[in-house]
Amino acid sequence: MADLQGKNAIVTGAAVGLGNSYAHALAAAGVNLAVCDLREEVLSVPGQLEAHGVQCRAWQGDVADPDHVRAVVDGAQAAFGNIDILINNAGIWGGSVADDGLDKSLDDYERIVGTNLKGEYLFGRAVIPLMIAAGRGGEIVNIATDHMVTCGTPFDLCPHRRECPWADSPRPTGGGDSMDLYDVSKWALNGLLFAWAKALAPHNIRVNALCMGATDSHMLRSFHNFDPSPEEEASWMRAEDNARVLIELLQEGPGGRNAQNLNFCVGRPVQLEPPHPHKYVKGEHVQLAAAREGSA
Ligand SMILES: NC(=O)c1ccc[n+]([C@@H]2O[C@H](COP(=O)([O-])OP(=O)(O)OC[C@H]3O[C@@H](n4cnc5c(N)ncnc54)[C@H](O)[C@@H]3O)[C@@H](O)[C@H]2O)c1
């Protein structure tokens, strides 16, 4: 089990919700933190984490703004000397449908894709060269959604998989018809997940994604106009449980799973399931990437 004590992490969108829980869980494991968020409350996160005896720096800004990304990454590097873990969490939900008008659609695109995809892309691009140069390996975890993991139930674990009409063909997603851009922004993370995992495996940098269903947070409450039914609320997963699994995932270390979407669905225990049997990052990717580097 990898020891996280003394490692350094960036968590985006850490003021409230899942990101805040990730920051608390990492600090409890002894990880120094650089946190950022659009919300001013992020500036109080270092005070919240003081009791764990870790160092913490906070920045307020937009993950889609390259200057902000540069400030956070350079600031973390200067404060801690290197960055071992990147948790790409900042995200927003917004309703969008196929027949929305063009003006609303452009605005939605900038906000939703800008935050959920561009933010993760920029933070990755800023952090990865530093991780490679440090030669200490690393961990990147992108926060996605269960909408991108087919129907919401992992196929291998589904009790109905034998009757599943989509077993041998593309299966339906949990995404509905009223958030096409949100789903686009999260599905696109698969591109980063697989390409980064393959390219970074030779550097002992793992890339995985957490794909959760309804988890109690500011976002989910705003989706329900802050007035969920008691039944709805009782069904939600807890951010603290998701954060516990994140720590277990990081503790797998460089030999652990890679390029995997970890699915957490309502009604199932929130736990680190065994790695998916399909290996997206194979030995040949590592060799090919090493050869590319050697000839560069
Ligand atoms: N809660 C759920 O049910 C759920 C389900 C699936 C996926 N997710 C994903 O989990 C992640 C966290 O969501 P949450 O539920 O904790 O949401 P949340 O709204 O409670 O917290 C998200 C945080 O990100 C920050 N943020 C938003 N846009 C930002 C930007 N442009 N720049 C910097 N910070 C920004 C917000 O200010 C907020 O503090 C998101 O990526 C979300 O898509 C959540």
pLDDT band for position 199 (cuts 50, 70, 90): very high
CA of 139 to the centre of ligand 1 (A): 20
Domains by residue range for the chain, with CATH: 8-295 (3.40.50.720)
Residues in the ligand 1 pocket, defined by CB under 6 Å: 13, 15-19, 37-39, 62-64, 89-92, 115, 119, 143, 145, 212, 214-215, 217-220
Mean pLDDT of 39-52: 97
Q: Whose CA is nearest to atom 21 of ligand 1?
A: 17
CA of 26 to the centre of ligand 1 (A): 18
CA of 217 to the centre of ligand 1 (A): 8
Q: Which atom of ligand 1 is nearest the CA belonging to 116? A: 41
What sign results for the dihedral spanned by CA atoms 281, 259, 122, 4?
negative
CA of 20 to the centre of ligand 1 (A): 10
Q: Whose CA is nearest to atom 43 of ligand 1?
A: 91
Residue 199 neighbours by CB under 8 Å, 6+ apart = 289
Mean pLDDT of 152-176: 57
Digit-coded pLDDT (tens) for 129-142: 999 999 999 999 99
Q: Report the C-alpha gap between 40 and 92 in whole angstroms.
A: 16
Locate tokens 């989706």: which residue?
A: 223
The SS3 of residue 143 is strand
CA of 107 to the centre of ligand 1 (A): 18
pLDDT for res 158: 62
User: E strands along 129-249, which residues?
Assistant: 138-143, 205-212
Q: Whose CA is nearest to atom 36 of ligand 1?
A: 13
Q: Whose CA is nearest to atom 19 of ligand 1?
A: 219
Q: Return the closest-CA partner of residue 214 out of 120, 109, 96, 93.
A: 93
> Cα 72 to the chain's mean position, in Å?
17
Digit-coded pLDDT (tens) for 87-122: 999 999 999 999 999 999 999 999 999 999 999 999
The SS3 of residue 13 is coil
Q: Report the C-alpha gap between 74 and 77 in whole angstroms.
A: 5
| Buried/exposed code over 1-13 (b: 16+ C-beta within 10 A; e: otherwise) | eeebeebbbbbbb
Q: In what order do the strands lie in the sheet with 138-143?
A: 56-60, 32-37, 8-12, 85-88, 138-143, 205-212, 261-264
Higher pLDDT residue, 117 or 254? 117
Among 85-94, 158-167, 180-189, 196-205, the range scoring the smallest mean pLDDT is: 158-167
Q: Is the pLDDT of residue 282 over 80?
A: no
